[in-house]
């Protein structure tokens, strides 16, 4: 059974309804914050998932693919690209706060992509730069853009024009994804819906529960181990809650 003492770095918890006869979680009652965390997992780039779970524990050969990029000498990479682009992809800024459920050091390392910019070999048109090495000069002088210029990341403004943000999508997700007005039901396979008396009865009928006395409630605190285990189990199983919280 998952430990819920040393790993608890958050104030989040799950109340599980357990079928003790079959040693199975029927469903969990969860707050908005838990649901926000689970929805956030959908935003992670694949390389982030591999790094969080450690390459050795990942099913299949994706861990080997990650190691191949790690071990590849940088001289084989395109001159305008850094390996960080693949190994440490940027996590979407709309991800809500998930401190205490995933390693913060790992998450913070995903903003170190090195941007390389180049100007004309002859120096004409100093205000024109590109991120594609050896492109034709923007001033049509016949030279190539091969001279690297220093890029200084700004906090609020940038000296180099960038593409406009995609319209119709707000980056302000400080309040997470779902509303904080009700309790949510999380099924063993991570199907999530609003909690209600009717939905609870429906689940009991679905699993043909006859002996209500065999059911018990248990509350588990969520910490880093539980967060990582939920992420890993979600890629391997259809009985995620049972695997994470009832595994012996």
Give the pLDDT confidence score for residue 110 in this predicted structure.
Answer: 43
d(CA 94, CA 176): 8
Task: With cut-offs at 50, 70 and 90, classify the pLDDT of residue 203.
Answer: very high
Give the pLDDT confidence score for residue 129 in this predicted structure.
Answer: 83
d(CA 39, CA 26): 20
Contact status, residue 190 vs residue 239, Cβ threshold 8 Å: no
More confident residue, 183 or 165: 183
Most confident segment among 1-5, 133-137, 188-192: 188-192
Give the pLDDT confidence score for residue 128 in this predicted structure.
Answer: 81
171: part of which helix (H) or strand (E)?
A: none
Give the pLDDT confidence score for residue 59 in this predicted structure.
Answer: 65
Task: Calculate ∠ Cα 98-113-133, nearest 5°.
Answer: 155
For residue 161, give the 3-state DSSP assignment.
Answer: coil
Contact status, residue 12 vs residue 3, Cβ threshold 8 Å: no
Residue 247 has pLDDT above 70, yes or no: yes
Tokens found for residue 175: 């309040």
| DSSP states of 47-75 | HHHHHHH-GGGSSSSHHHHHHHHHHS-GG
Task: With cut-offs at 50, 70 and 90, classify the pLDDT of residue 28.
Answer: very high
Q: CA end-to-end span of the chain, whole Å?
A: 5
For residue 205, give the 3-state DSSP assignment.
Answer: helix
Counts of helices then strands in the chain (DSSP H, E): 8, 8
Q: For 61-104, how does the pLDDT look when each residue is reduced to its tens digit (9 = 90+)?
A: 888 888 899 899 888 888 777 788 888 887 665 455 566 788 76
Beta strands 24-30; 184-187: pairing state? antiparallel
Task: With cut-offs at 50, 70 and 90, classify the pLDDT of residue 157.
Answer: very low
């Amino acid at each position: 059974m998952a430990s819920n003492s040393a790993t608890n770095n958050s104030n989040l918890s799950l109340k599980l309804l357990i079928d003790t006869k079959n040693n199975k979680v029927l469903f969990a009652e969860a707050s908005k914050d838990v649901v926000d965390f689970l929805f956030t997992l959908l935003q992670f780039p694949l390389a982030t998932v591999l790094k969080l779970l450690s390459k050795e524990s990942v099913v299949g050969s994706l861990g080997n693919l990650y190691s191949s990029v790690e071990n590849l000498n940088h001289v084989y990479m395109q001159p305008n690209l850094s390996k960080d682009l693949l190994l440490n992809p940027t996590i979407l800024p709309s991800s809500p706060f998930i401190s205490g459920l995933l390693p913060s050091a790992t998450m913070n390392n995903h903003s170190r992509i090195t941007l390389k910019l180049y100007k004309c070999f002859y120096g004409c048109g100093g205000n024109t730069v590109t991120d594609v090495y050896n492109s034709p000069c923007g001033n049509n002088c016949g030279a190539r853009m091969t001279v690297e210029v220093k890029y200084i990341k700004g906090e609020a403004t940038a000296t180099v024009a960038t593409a406009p943000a995609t319209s119709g999508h707000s980056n302000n997700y400080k309040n997470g994804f779902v509303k904080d007005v009700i309790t949510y039901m999380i099924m063993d396979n991570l199907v999530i819906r609003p909690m209600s008396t009717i939905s609870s009865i429906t689940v009991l009928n679905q699993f043909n529960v006859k002996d209500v006395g065999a059911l018990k409630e248990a509350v588990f605190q969520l910490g880093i181990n539980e967060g990582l285990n939920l992420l890993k189990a979600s890629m391997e199983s259809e009985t995620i809650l049972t695997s994470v919280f009832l595994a012996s």
